Structures are given as structure tokens and as C-alpha cells.
């Protein structure tokens, strides 16, 4: 049976593939797979690619260059997010069903509270291309285990050895953890974890990024516009 290959269309406006600006920045776009709080690939995420506004990409490139002498790299966890994916998140939070795997990401309350508490919103800055989720990788550290979708991991505030592997530095919680320990300035983490967070926040801030105080991983670049886009994320043309 013949199949029609997926061909990437030109990106709208001033969006770019981050790999075209800096291929050294690592990428693990979590909503393009099953390793996320919903437990499945979200609509619009058809490829593991970070797409951002060009100004955001150039700023990330500068952050990466600053970190390189320290043998540290950025790793992108989410970039541009199609608006349809945000709508799916809202529907998921309100569907009245929650599995044990999903509860790992919000151990202290029901997922139905995520919308009220501001962790999920119908409008996301990610859909403008000006917001990103990012962590750090210590390039001198041995590579850890990969995520196993069949394993029952501890929740996102458990010690690093028990929670789902991030293949990055230990920031004190897993990515997308809806808990007070994930607040950037949380006191209930170790000194080493605070140092990693400070390194990330400081490096990003020097290039104009603003951190969301409830999520150590979330940053936005002011001036990126308010328009939410809904084009799909597809493989970049080679």
C-alpha cells in the first residue's frame, strides 16, 4: 500500500526550528510522546522538534554559548505549543478520570484543581512561540537511564533515584510537577538543587527571559506577541 510522506510546510511568520539556529541545544519535547502528565502524545505534536519565534531562538543560542564553558547544555522540554494541545490539556483536567501514572505529576491534589490553581490554562504563552520549558544537562555526568513507560515510578517530588528519569540535572522535582517544591524559589530542596535552579534562571534572565514562579522550567521572552497559533509541529526539512 502506498503512503503519502509527511512534508514539512514553511513555518508562519518569524517562527524557526531551533535546530537551525543551534543544533547543540538538546531537545526532549515531552508532549510529542507519552512521557508527560497526560500520558499520551498531544494533538499537534507530530515531531520531536522545538519551534520558537526567531528572537527567542537567538536568545536561547546566547544562553547556550554562556553555559558551554561550564560543560552545561540547555535541554528543551516544550517550545511552541499548538493551541489545540492546550485545549486538550483543559479537557483532560476536567474529564473526571485520573490514573496513578498521571497522579505522579500532582501528588497533593486532584487534577481537576490544576485549572483553578493556574497550572493549566485555555490560553498558553507557548502558543505564541515566545515561551519555553527548559532544563539543564551536565555534559560531564554519565548518562542515566531512559524513561520506561511500563515502570511504576514514584511521584515527581520523590528523590531523583525513585522518580521518572529526566536525563538532566536534579532540579529537586520532575518536569511538570504541580507542587510547591517546583516553585522556583522553594526552600524545601537541597543546596545543590537550588544552585542548578539559580544557574538556569540567571543565565536565562541575562538574555531577557522571565521565569514563572510556580514552575522552575518555564520562561517567556516579553514582546513576543499575544497571538496564539495552531499549526502542527512537523518534522523539519533537511
Q: How many domains does the chain have?
A: 1
In the prediction, which pLDDT does 121 show? Answer: 80
Containing structural domain, residue 199: 15-220
Residue 2 lies in a domain: no
Among residues 118, 80, 76, which one has the least CA distance to residue 204? 76
Residue 89, C-alpha cell as written in the block: 490539556
In the prediction, which pLDDT does 114 show? Answer: 86
Residue 8 lies in a domain: no
In the prediction, which pLDDT does 7 show? Answer: 46
With residue 222 as reference, give the H or E element that holds it. none
Q: Phi/psi at 72 (nearest 5 deg)?
A: -125, 140
Residue 227 lies in a domain: no
In the prediction, which pLDDT does 9 show? Answer: 58
Residue 78 lies in a domain: yes
Averages of pLDDT over each 10 residues, the chain, 238 residues: 48 93 98 94 97 97 98 98 95 88 90 85 90 98 91 95 95 96 96 98 98 97 89 88
In the prediction, which pLDDT does 5 show? Answer: 43
Among residues 168, 162, 169, which one has the least CA distance to residue 194? 169
Query: Measured between alpha carbons, how far is 168 from 73 in angstroms, rounded to an integer?
Result: 9
pTM over 0.85: yes
CATH number for the domain spanning 165: value is: 3.30.1380.10
In the prediction, which pLDDT does 238 show? Answer: 66
With residue 75 as reference, give the H or E element that holds it. strand 72-78
In the prediction, which pLDDT does 216 show? Answer: 98
Residue 7 lies in a domain: no
Residue 79 lies in a domain: yes
Burial pattern 54-78, b for ≥16 Cβ within 10 A else e, equals: ebbbebbbebbeebeeeebbbbbbb
Amino acid at each position: 500500500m502506498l503512503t503519502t510522506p509527511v512534508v514539512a510546510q514553511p513555518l508562519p511568520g518569524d517562527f524557526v526550528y531551533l535546530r537551525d539556529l543551534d543544533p547543540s541545544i538538546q531537545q526532549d519535547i515531552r508532549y510529542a510522546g507519552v512521557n508527560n502528565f497526560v500520558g499520551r502524545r498531544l494533538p499537534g505534536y507530530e515531531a520531536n522538534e522545538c519551534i520558537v519565534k526567531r528572537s527567542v531562538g537567538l536568545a536561547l543560542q546566547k544562553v547556550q554559548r554562556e553555559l558551554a564553558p561550564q560543560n552545561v547544555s540547555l535541554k528543551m522540554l516544550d517550545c511552541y505549543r499548538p493551541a489545540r494541545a492546550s485545549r486538550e490539556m483543559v479537557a483532560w483536567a476536567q474529564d473526571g478520570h485520573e490514573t496513578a501514572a498521571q497522579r505522579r505529576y500532582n501528588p497533593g491534589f486532584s487534577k481537576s484543581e490544576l485549572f483553578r490553581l493556574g497550572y493549566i490554562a485555555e490560553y498558553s504563552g507557548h502558543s505564541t512561540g515566545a515561551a519555553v520549558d527548559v532544563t539543564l544537562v551536565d555534559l560531564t555526568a554519565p548518562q542515566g537511564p531512559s524513561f520506561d513507560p511500563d515502570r511504576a515510578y514514584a511521584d515527581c517530588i520523590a528523590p531523583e533515584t525513585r522518580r521518572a528519569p529526566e536525563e538532566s540535572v536534579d532540579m529537586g522535582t520532575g518536569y511538570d510537577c504541580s507542587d510547591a517544591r517546583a516553585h522556583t524559589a522553594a526552600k524545601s530542596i537541597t543546596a545543590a538543587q537550588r544552585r542548578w535552579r539559580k544557574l538556569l534562571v540567571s543565565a536565562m534572565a541575562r538574555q531577557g527571559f522571565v521565569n514563572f514562579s510556580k514552575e522552575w522550567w518555564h520562561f517567556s521572552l516579553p514582546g513576543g506577541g499575544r497571538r496564539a497559533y495552531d499549526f502542527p509541529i512537523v518534522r523539519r526539512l533537511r
